Structure 1
Amino acid sequence: MINQFRNLNPVNLVILAAYTIFMRLAIFINLPDQLNFEFLEPYAKLLVQIPLENSFSITANLFLAAVITFVQAILFNRIVNNHGLLAKPSYLSALLYITGASLFTQFLILSPPLICNFLLIWIMDKFLKIGKTPNAMMTMFDIGMIIALGTLIYFPFIVLLAMLWLSLLLYRSFSWREWIAGIIGFLTIFFFIAVFYYWNDNITQFYRIWRPLVNKFPSNLKINFNDYLVLMPVSVIIILATLQLRENFFRSFISTRKAFQMLFFMFIIAIISFYTKPDFRVYHFLLSVPPGAVLLAYYFSNAKKRWFYESLFAVLVLSIQYFLFV
């Protein structure tokens, strides 16, 4: 399977589509009793009325989620190839993206983080470009606006604002205009939302939008470790990828080194942003799939022993299927 996706054969697109359905067989066979899809945060619903909560049947919800994941995988794969993050252009990034987006049952349904991954992939592309442009001010402004749009859909997306400065630290020398451009882009969107609230004599509700930012990071989490055993093979691959990356780090292009550092910070920020959503669900961690999938793909792109990496991938897929069914 891995060897097949190590090249850009167009046949892989057909296999990838079949693989997307295969990874979702468990939820199609055992359909949930009810699925609710909320496209926007409550504060954004006052601005844009999109009655989607009960517009999809359960089957339509699951099928649309599969199509969205497949499309995101193709876009994501193209960005990874364009920026030369792997040993050579391939479909490995798309394969590992779909695999990562199938880890848990809640990943398989239509959810705000799934929609936000379109924006996250777009942001990732823009961050990877800022080191190649003479002036990143407009790019940072655009990224700030994209993060604001993502925040309207799913509030924890706001934490990605930290990536504005982390990426600038990695890629560019200090320029105060670039450092504030992203924030101005973000505030531009919310300025219009504040005006809307003000016109409707509801400005106090606008202030409440920001309350989750002062939530205390939870000191203890109630975790049923049996539900997360599927992450064991993922963890093994990440460790192997990290060792592989460390071995090749100083032999890689500077742009590649910075790219993986940026993706590492994005991965961590996407995970810890759950604290801004007191009632967060497992599907929140879909936001960590794009940066995480690059690291997984990096290992399989550079692995040498075919019997080992093919077996490791097979164990990963089988473990996902097992935990989805049980």
Structure 2
Amino acid sequence: MINIFKAFNPLNVLWLAILVFILRLGYIIEAPDKLQFVFVEPFARLLLPVGYEYAFSPVENVCIAAILVLAQALLLNFLVNKYNLLGRSTFLPSLMYVTVTALFPQFLVLSAPLICNFLLIWMLFKLFSFYKGEDAKSTAYDLGMIVALGSIIYLPYIYLFLSIWIGLVIFKPFNWREWISGILGYITVFFFFAVYYYLTNHLHSFYQIWAPLGTKFPNSINIKYLNYLVLIPVIILIGLFLYSFQQNYYKSYVQVRKSYQLLFFIFLIGGLSFYVKSRFNLQHFLLCAVPVAVCISYYFAYATRKWLYESLYLLLLISVIYFQFNTF
């Protein structure tokens, strides 16, 4: 299967669509009676006064989520090929994204982090453009607005504001105006939000929006470790990526090296910001799917032993499907 997606063939879109369905078939068969979909944070419910949480049946919920994942996979594939992150045009990023976003049953349904991945991919287009752009002030301003929009949908997304400054550090010489532009972009969105709160006599609640950010980082998390065995193939593939990337590091373009540095920090930010929510939820880690998918794609793009990389992907695929039917 890897060899099929190594080629930049438009027919791979059809194979992707089939794979998206196969990876969700197990969950559809055993779907619960109801699935809740929370699109925005509680503080933004004033903007959506209608009840929508149970508007979709479980099957509709999963199918809509699948369509969104397919769209995100194609966008990510376009991004990676546009900035030549793999050194060649392939469909591997889309394949890996579709696979990674099916790792856990919680990933297969509509959720705020899934919606935010559209914003994350949009941000990456703009962040990668820092490298060749002379003036990044307007881009940083746009990025600040995107982060603000993401914060309204899913509050932990606010921490991805750090990726703007990290991107400026990695790609650009220091310019304080560019750093301030991101803040102004973020403030712009919430300024209008504050005005709306004021006009609806809810201004006293506006100051409580950021209260969850003060949540103490947990010392421990109660999880069933057997349910996370599906991550073993992913960890192996990330290890192989690190080895492969290290081998090719000085052969790569400077922009490519810097881009992977940025993806690493986005992975860290996405992973560590889970604490904002009082209840631990695996859906949050969908924010890590984009950088993980790109990194795994890099290994497969440069892997030479067919039996090894095909076996590893098959192991990953079997693990995903197996753990959809078996939880411990």
Q: Which residue of structure 2 lines up, in the alignment, with residue 291 of structure 1?
A: 291
Q: Which residue of structure 2 lines up, in the alignment, with residue 192 of structure 1?
A: 192
**Residue 201 (structure 1) shift:** 2.7
Are 1:80 and 1:93, in contact at CA under 8 Å, matched by a contact in 2? yes
Distance 1:72 1:296 in 2: 17
Q: 1:195 to 1:280 in 2, by over 3 A?
A: farther
Q: Which residue of structure 2 lines up, in the alignment, with residue 204 of structure 1?
A: 204
Residue type at the aligned position of 1:310: E
Q: Which runs of 5+ in 2 are unaligned?
A: none
Question: Within 5 Å, which residues of 2 pair with 1:1-326?
Answer: 1-49=1-49, 51-326=51-326
Are 1:7 and 1:89, in contact at CA under 8 Å, matched by a contact in 2? yes
**Residue 100 (structure 1) shift:** 0.4
Offset from partner CA, 1:58-109 (integer Å, 9 cap, x none): 1111110111101110111001000000031000000000000000000000
The 3-state SS of whatever aligns with 2:31 is: coil
**Residue 33 (structure 1) shift:** 2.1
Distance 1:18 1:262 in 2: 32
Residue type at the aligned position of 1:43: F
Identity %, equivalent residues = 45
Are 1:131 and 1:172, in contact at CA under 8 Å, matched by a contact in 2? yes
Are 1:6 and 1:301, in contact at CA under 8 Å, matched by a contact in 2? yes
TM (normalized to structure 2)? 0.97
**Residue 12 (structure 1) shift:** 0.9
Query: For the aligned residues, what is the CA RMSD?
Result: 1.0
Moved more, 78-87 or 215-224: 215-224
Are 2:131 and 2:171, in contact at CA under 8 Å, matched by a contact in 1? yes
Distance 1:58 1:223 in 2: 25
Moved more, 170-179 or 202-211: 202-211
The 3-state SS of whatever aligns with 1:241 is: helix
Runs of 4+ in 1 over 4 A off after TM superposition: none
**Residue 176 (structure 1) shift:** 0.6
Distance 2:210 2:66 in 1: 33
Are 2:34 and 2:54, in contact at CA under 8 Å, matched by a contact in 1? no
Distance 2:146 2:325 in 1: 37
Residue type at the aligned position of 2:26: A
Offset from partner CA, 1:264-308 (integer Å, 9 cap, x none): 000110011101111241111011001110000000001010010
**Residue 50 (structure 1) shift:** 5.1
Distance 2:10 2:206 in 1: 49
Offset from partner CA, 1:170-189 (integer Å, 9 cap, x none): 00001011001011101100
Offset from partner CA, 1:232-251 (integer Å, 9 cap, x none): 01000000001111111111
Are 1:144 and 1:182, in contact at CA under 8 Å, matched by a contact in 2? yes
Are 2:69 and 2:101, in contact at CA under 8 Å, matched by a contact in 1? yes
Distance 2:34 2:55 in 1: 12
Distance 2:61 2:47 in 1: 24
